[in-house]
């Protein structure tokens, strides 16, 4: 009797545990992330346009200015798909600038972001310059339509 109860409990635990769907990514869950939170930064990078070209990233968190270096395989264009809007192709330049803006909007203490594409020179963005150009960056991640408009405005 004890064995049957134990087996039934284990079976139900396995079925219930496996039937849960993985939590869907939500941009709002990552708003207010700090540059030192390696796993959150990685999760964000894996959702941004050009994530399929991502090689690795490093974080400089020992003292300000706090920086990120993101390395991608070389690419000319990538799919920009934010939310439920139909994906569209954007240039590497547009993708990197849009990604920088989204990273600044989500990661509150990052000051500078460097992008390295294989065999090309580094492209860097800092928070001040992009805030001057686009205004309040945090408002961009308020909803999906704001983020979709971002990539249209950059091109």
Note the pLDDT tens digit of each residue in 92-126: 999 999 999 999 999 999 999 999 998 788 999 99
This prediction has a pTM of 0.81
Domain-embedded: residue 2: no
Within a domain: 57: yes
Is 121 a member of any domain?
yes
Q: Is there a domain that residue 19 lies in?
A: no
Residue 132 within any structural domain of the chain: yes
> 11 in a domain, yes or no?
no
Quick one: 110 exposed, middle or buried, by C-beta within 10 A (0-12, 13-18, 19+)?
buried
Instruction: Give the number of domains in the chain.
Output: 1
pLDDT at residue number 44: 96
- Segments forming the whole domain that contains residue 138: 32-154
């Amino acid at each position: 009797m004890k064995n049957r109860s134990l087996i039934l409990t284990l079976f139900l635990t396995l079925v219930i545990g496996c039937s849960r769907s993985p939590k869907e990514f939500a941009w709002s869950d990552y708003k207010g992330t700090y540059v030192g939170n390696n796993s959150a930064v990685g999760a964000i990078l894996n959702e941004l346009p050009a994530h399929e070209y991502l090689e690795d990233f490093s974080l400089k968190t020992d003292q300000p200015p706090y920086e990120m270096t993101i390395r991608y395989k070389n690419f000319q264009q990538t799919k920009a798909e934010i939310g439920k809007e139909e994906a569209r192709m954007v240039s590497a330049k547009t993708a990197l600038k849009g990604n920088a803006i989204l990273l600044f909007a989500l990661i509150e203490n990052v000051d500078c972001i460097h992008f390295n594409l294989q065999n090309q020179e580094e492209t860097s963005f800092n928070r001040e310059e992009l805030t001057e150009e686009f205004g309040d960056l945090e408002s961009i991640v308020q909803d999906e339509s704001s983020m979709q408009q971002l990539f249209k405005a950059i091109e």
